[in-house]
Amino acid sequence: MRGDLARDLEVREVQNLDLGFAEAVAKAGAEKVNLCIQCGACSASCPVGTRSALRTRQVIRRVQLGFRNEVLSHKSLWLCTTCSTCTQRCPRDVNPMETLISVRSLLVEEGYVPPTVRDALEGVFKYGNPWGISRSKRSDWAKDLKVKFVSEGEKTGLLYFVGCAASYDPRAQKVARALVTNLHASGTDFAVLGEKESCCGNEIYALGEKGLFGVLAEENLSLLDRYGVTEIVTTSPHCFNAFKNRYGRKNLAVRHYTQYLADLIDRGRLRFPKKVEKTVTFQDPCYLGKHNDVYDEPRKIIESIPGVRFLELPMSGKRSVCCEGGGGRMWVDVPGERASENRVKEAITMGAEIVAVACPFCLLTFEDAVKTTGNEGRIQVMDLNEIIAKAL
Amino acid sequence: MIIRRGETLLAKAALVIGGGIAGIQSALDLADQGFKVYLVEKNPSIGGKMAQLDKTFPTLDCAACIMTPKMVDAGRHPNIELLAYSEVHDVKRDGDVFKVNIVRKPRYVDETKCTGCGVCAQHCPVEAPNEFDEMLGLRKAIYVPFPQAVPLIYTIDKESCIDCGLCEKVCQTKAVDRQQQPREVEVEVGAIIVSTGFDLFDAREKEEYGYGIYPNVITGLTLERLLSASGPTGGHIVRPSDGKIPRSVSFVQCVGSRDERSGNLYCSRVCCMYATKEAILLKEHVPEIDETIFYMDIRAYGKGFEEFYQRAKQEFGINYIRGRVAEITEDPRTQNLLLIVENTETGEILEHEADMVVLSTGFVAPRDEGLAKMLPVPVGDDGFLVASNLKTDPVTTEIEGVFIAGTVEGPKDIPDTVIQASAAAMKASSFLID
């Protein structure tokens, strides 16, 4: 560290230091940034840092020292996937992930945002989704399905919060459709918000646009109130996380679909008459596992499908590796290999025929990875909902 | 027991709970002054964690060589009544004395008859992992934990025993008593010294290091047993997966210490030095070995510690890299380990390969808080017992007549433990004479 600091001090003029910078970052949400002891656990636990210029520890050090211009001009800040591995392993509970998000929020405030991120933010602002597609198309995925929409004056009970990816992305739409099939098969009554649903804002928060996030949270919460929603189930672990941990409303009964379906299986309401004779492995979504400690339910679902042979990836559960789809990374492209490519190779080596996922972002990044590694036809990427639907 | 001459009360007895180096020192200091001491130890032998160590820092004294004479002294001191394989079940204050109920757990061997000859163990057909060797080696179902055990009395581990009765048949002194029952003992004492020690942090809690998953990730205490000439390998350094001599070993510091994620904010105070010591000893066993210690800070604060650390670097060529290891993975083909760590002095992310990894696990307070509640001595947020005043009254507790010594009060090394144990004996002695 001494060498690092000395080098920093040699090459910079001291008058360029912004001595209030650490406080500004702390105020933006990284309260403990000054407690960092520079051990480097964050840098080395980062799934992106090992392959790029992102050095979380160094960002934190430069924040502490007041190297404002240098920190804010560092493009690697947009590489963070907010997988939270650094935060899980930080011995001083500094929350390095939240520190990076706070630095991003200063960048957003000043308008220093990569064009692709700007487009995503604009899309959410104008149309309620990061792809900037019209609201009127938000429920196209459900066209020929018998899905109930919320209506005024009628208590909704269970709300299925679809989320942007499952609403608009053609591949992820299939997951939403499979979930509807599965819920119907169990005789569960539910409704969706349709065109009124706005982006949950989880990725918007992670990109540092906390103002816009606040607007989205308010919109979604007021919809819940208006339609008497008492319980929510989500497709995406990202939406699940936003409702559960970021909206600041206690007693919101929100569950990820893996939790909901595992419970239905437990209570005997979801039964599998058909066999799925496949070797399956599972990618833990960061926002389900590391962020929210949900590890058992997806495994429970897989293991209760008859015929499935389940294998754990070499790194799984709390040691799982991010697919690099989160934290806004759907809108920040990075040249070179992605972590999901390595995961796909591992899955094939193990002899898995299906990589099961439980997050639309994992689904998309893994499918990409199957193609970019030239493994099309050798392994399938399926959401758990799709595997369940096959067993019905 | 209260010592009387005729009607005249001479002195009260003392109780020392825990027979590690702290308890042994306190008991010896009191007994040498002429006081009667009951020394209670829950395991079959006294000796505690120090007895498991190979050598001690920073002098590299053989632990057994400096420990065993004290154990033997305590075992045969006329003023010490050793109650090994026993636990304190109840403490009641009665005026200026404590009435203490001690349960003597059944060894299924009569202490008064066993001569420690070991014929029973030779014939015993059952083998079980040896706790004293950190589960590396094997012992019989009738066993002494280690050859220098005090008292040298065999114990049957009923969990492993198949009740074949061979030990009973071969015992010359008819000491084996498979029907033995727990026995309660009541003693009356004027002072109690608590020296029940510490547990090591369970490294499985830090799943990123793969302890319990990868066979070649071991703890520092396991390495002590590998280094020890009386250990399971006779002092040969081999790695668990294939019995090969490791050519490269990495140490990971602060495992469960200075770590909010584990809930342990404190420094365990011995790991920097024990890793340094073990690295030096490894180098002496395998001169061509390549060793790296990954650390957050090196805390070489004690007498001779800094010199020891400098010697390790300069004389023994041990590498020290500043960086907290983020993750350890295994190469499934070689079962070598890959440590992912940022060298914080260069900013470089290293993927450092090693044949074997040693986790420097820190101290935690024993999980059983029953004794503290019974006495009742205040317990700190970290689980360790609290002294009346950390600076001016470091061995006295809020409970009159109850004193604390050694690591039950907080992590410390052997010299500090012995100092505190002697201090506790001194303080306790004033409660033994009216």
- Interchain contact, A319 vs B208, CB within 8 Å: yes
Kindly state whether residues B280 and B357 are assigned to the same domain: yes
Domain boundary among B342, B362, B382: B362
| pLDDT above 90: percentage of residues in chain B | 95
B296 touches A at CB < 8 Å:
yes
Q: Which residue of A has its CA nearest to B350?
A: A44
Q: What is the mean pLDDT of residues B412-422?
A: 97
A239-295 residue pLDDT tens: 999 999 999 998 889 999 999 999 999 999 999 999 999 999 999 999 999 999 999
Annotate A121-143 with DSSP letters as a single string: HHHHHHHSSTT---GGGTTGGGT
Tokens coding B194: 């608590």
Kindly state whether residues B96 and B58 are assigned to the same domain: yes
Q: What is the mean pLDDT of residues B300-320?
A: 97
Which residue ranges form the domains of chain A, and what is each CATH number? 2-110 (1.10.1060), 115-264 (no CATH), 272-391 (3.40.50.10700)
Confirm whether B244 is domain-assigned: yes
d(CA B302, CA B267): 14
- Residue A169 reports pLDDT greater than 60: yes
Confirm whether B176 is domain-assigned: no
Banded pLDDT at B8 (limits 50, 70, 90): low
Among B391, B385, B434, CA closest to B405: B385
Q: Chain A interface, mutation test: which of B205, B206, B349, B352, most A Cβ atoms within 10 Å?
A: B349
Confirm whether B194 is domain-assigned: yes
Banded pLDDT at B434 (limits 50, 70, 90): confident
Confirm whether B114 is domain-assigned: no
For residue B261, what are the contacts with CB-CB under 8 A and spacing of at least 6? A88, A89, A90, A91, A93, B206
Domain boundary among B362, B391, B413: B362
From chain B, the residues in CB contact with A318 under 8 A are 207-208
The SS3 call for residue B102 is: strand
Banded pLDDT at B342 (limits 50, 70, 90): very high
Banded pLDDT at B1 (limits 50, 70, 90): low
- Interchain contact, A37 vs B260, CB within 8 Å: no
Confirm whether B148 is domain-assigned: yes
Tokens coding A370: 């199957």
A115-165 residue pLDDT tens: 999 999 999 999 999 999 999 999 999 999 999 999 888 888 899 999 999
- Interchain contact, B260 vs A45, CB within 8 Å: no
Banded pLDDT at B367 (limits 50, 70, 90): confident
Kindly state whether residues B85 and B211 are assigned to the same domain: no
Q: Chain B interface, mutation test: which of A8, A39, A349, most B Cβ atoms within 10 Å?
A: A39
Kindly state whether residues B30 and B123 are assigned to the same domain: no
- Asked if residues B33 and B44 have their Cβ atoms less than 8 Å apart, the reply is no
Give residue A23's identity as a one-letter amino acid code.
Answer: E
- Interchain contact, B349 vs A88, CB within 8 Å: no
A37 touches B at CB < 8 Å:
yes
Ramachandran region, residue A234 (left: φ > 0; alpha: ψ -120 to 50; beta: rest): beta
Q: How far is A74 from chain B (nearest CA, A)?
A: 16
Banded pLDDT at A51 (limits 50, 70, 90): confident
- Asked if residues B157 and B108 have their Cβ atoms less than 8 Å apart, the reply is no
Domain with B289, as residue range(s), is: 201-362
* Mean pLDDT (chain B, rounded): 96
From chain B, the residues in CB contact with A89 under 8 A are 208, 261, 326-327
Q: How far is B329 from chain A (nearest CA, A)?
A: 8
User: Which pLDDT belongs to residue A1?
Assistant: 46
B29 touches A at CB < 8 Å:
no
B326 touches A at CB < 8 Å:
yes
Q: How far is A33 from chain B (nearest CA, A)?
A: 15
What ipTM does the predicted assembly reach? 0.91
d(CA B385, CA B383): 7
Among B28, B52, B428, CA closest to B220: B52
Kindly state whether residues B254 and B277 are assigned to the same domain: yes
Confirm whether B175 is domain-assigned: no
- Interchain contact, A319 vs B342, CB within 8 Å: no
d(CA B152, CA B145): 9
CB-nearest to B322 from A1, A88, A93 is A1
User: Which pLDDT belongs to residue B126?
Assistant: 97
A89 touches B at CB < 8 Å:
yes
A91 touches B at CB < 8 Å:
yes
Higher confidence at residue B269 or residue A230? B269
User: Which pLDDT belongs to residue B2?
Assistant: 60
A311 touches B at CB < 8 Å:
no
Kindly state whether residues B126 and B90 are assigned to the same domain: no
- Residue B128 reports pLDDT greater than 70: yes
- Interchain contact, B341 vs A44, CB within 8 Å: yes
Give residue A70's identity as a one-letter amino acid code.
Answer: E
- Residue A10 reports pLDDT greater than 60: no
- Residue A3 reports pLDDT greater than 90: no
Which of A:224-253 have CB within 8 Å of B? Answer: none
Find where tokens 């439980």 sit.
A358
- Interchain contact, B351 vs A50, CB within 8 Å: yes
A367-378 residue pLDDT tens: 999 999 999 999
From chain B, the residues in CB contact with A2 under 8 A are 345
Q: How many separate domains does chain B show?
A: 3
- Interchain contact, B342 vs A90, CB within 8 Å: no
Confirm whether B177 is domain-assigned: no
CB-nearest to A44 from B207, B329, B349 is B349
Kindly state whether residues B237 and B135 are assigned to the same domain: no
Among B3, B424, B322, B58, CA closest to B189: B3
- Asked if residues B395 and B404 have their Cβ atoms less than 8 Å apart, the reply is yes
Which helix (H) or strand (E) segment holds residue A104: the answer is helix A96-110
Banded pLDDT at A78 (limits 50, 70, 90): very high
Kindly state whether residues B255 and B302 are assigned to the same domain: yes
A104-123 residue pLDDT tens: 999 999 989 999 999 999 99
CB-nearest to A58 from B259, B326, B347 is B347
User: Which pLDDT belongs to residue A335?
Assistant: 80
Tokens coding B374: 């019974």
From chain A, the residues in CB contact with B297 under 8 A are 37
Kindly state whether residues B386 and B347 are assigned to the same domain: no
Q: What is the b/e burial string over A243-256, where b = at least 16 CB atoms within 10 angstroms of the residue's CB? A: bbebbeeeeeebbb
Kindly state whether residues B275 and B331 are assigned to the same domain: yes
Kindly state whether residues B344 and B212 are assigned to the same domain: yes
- Residue B325 reports pLDDT greater than 60: yes
User: Which pLDDT belongs to residue A13?
Assistant: 55
- Asked if residues A388 and A301 have their Cβ atoms less than 8 Å apart, the reply is yes
d(CA A86, CA A80): 10
- Interchain contact, B326 vs A58, CB within 8 Å: no
Give residue A234's identity as a one-letter amino acid code.
Answer: T
Confirm whether B287 is domain-assigned: yes
Domain boundary among B309, B344, B362: B362
B133-173 residue pLDDT tens: 999 999 999 999 999 999 999 999 999 999 999 999 999 99
* Long-range Cβ contacts of A260-265 (<8 Å, 24+ apart): A260/A233, A261/A182, A261/A186, A261/A297, A261/A301, A261/A384, A261/A385, A261/A388, A262/A296, A262/A297, A262/A298, A262/A300, A262/A301, A264/A186, A264/A188, A265/A300, A265/A301, A265/A304
Q: How far is B345 from chain A (nearest CA, A)?
A: 4
B387 touches A at CB < 8 Å:
no
Q: How far is B259 from chain A (nearest CA, A)?
A: 4
User: Which pLDDT belongs to residue A250?
Assistant: 85
Kindly state whether residues B307 and B346 are assigned to the same domain: yes
d(CA B399, CA B378): 9
CB-nearest to A91 from B207, B258, B347 is B258
Residue B63: CATH number of its domain? 3.50.50.60
Q: To the nearest 10°, the Cα dihedral for B413, B414, B419, B422?
A: 130
Rounded to 5°, the CA angle B261-B263-B267 comes to: 100
CB-nearest to B261 from A2, A91, A315 is A91
Strands B55-56 and B37-41: unpaired
CB-nearest to B340 from A39, A44, A91 is A44
